Amino acid sequence: MNSAVQRTQIVRQFKAGKWHEVEISRQPDIHEIRENLSYRGSEDKSFRWRGEILAYGQWDAEEKVYSVHNPLFSGMLFPSWEKAFEYIDSEKHAIMDELSKLQPAEEDE
């Protein structure tokens, strides 16, 4: 789990007749988790955000590049999976906006 999402907070507990301040670790809720880009490499090699697939990726061992594609673009090449992840993470809002514009056009057909 992404440690940047985990939070600690101070809570007051009543114990043995006294109030005590205790620091507890709070796990992220589903809404916080969905705001992080995730990658499902063992399933379909998809980059996902907010429950939607933003792109698929594939390592090309011959060219030694990581290729990313979706309905908007294909053949975007990166030197590593990490660089592809960083790019998609930084552009996830724009990618999601453009993909959502394609949905009505696909449903009409």
| 44 and 94 inside one domain | yes
Provide the residue range defining the domain that includes 13: 1-36
Per-residue confidence (pLDDT) for residue 1, from 0 to 100: 40
Q: Are 39 and 85 in contact (CB under 8 A)?
A: yes
**3-class DSSP state for residue 61?**
coil
> pLDDT tens, 4-61?
545 788 889 888 899 989 888 888 888 888 889 999 988 899 999 998 999 999 999 9
| 60 and 98 inside one domain | yes
| 97 and 57 inside one domain | yes
| 51 and 93 inside one domain | yes
Per-residue confidence (pLDDT) for residue 6, from 0 to 100: 56
| 61 and 88 inside one domain | yes
| 55 and 105 inside one domain | yes
List Cβ neighbours of 38 (8 Å cut-off, separation of 6 or more).
47, 48, 49
CA 18 to chain centre: 43
Opening angle at CA 86, ends 99 and 80, nearest 5: 110
Per-residue confidence (pLDDT) for residue 97, from 0 to 100: 94
Beta-strand (E) ranges in the chain?
A: 7-15, 18-26, 38-40, 46-49, 52-60, 65-69, 76-78
Confidence of residue 3 (pLDDT cuts 50, 70, 90): very low
| 24 and 42 inside one domain | no
| 41 and 8 inside one domain | no
Per-residue confidence (pLDDT) for residue 109, from 0 to 100: 55
What is the number of domains present in the chain?
2
Per-residue confidence (pLDDT) for residue 30, from 0 to 100: 84
| 23 and 60 inside one domain | no
| 16 and 65 inside one domain | no
| 109 and 95 inside one domain | yes
Confidence of residue 106 (pLDDT cuts 50, 70, 90): low
32 is written with which tokens? Answer: 């916080």
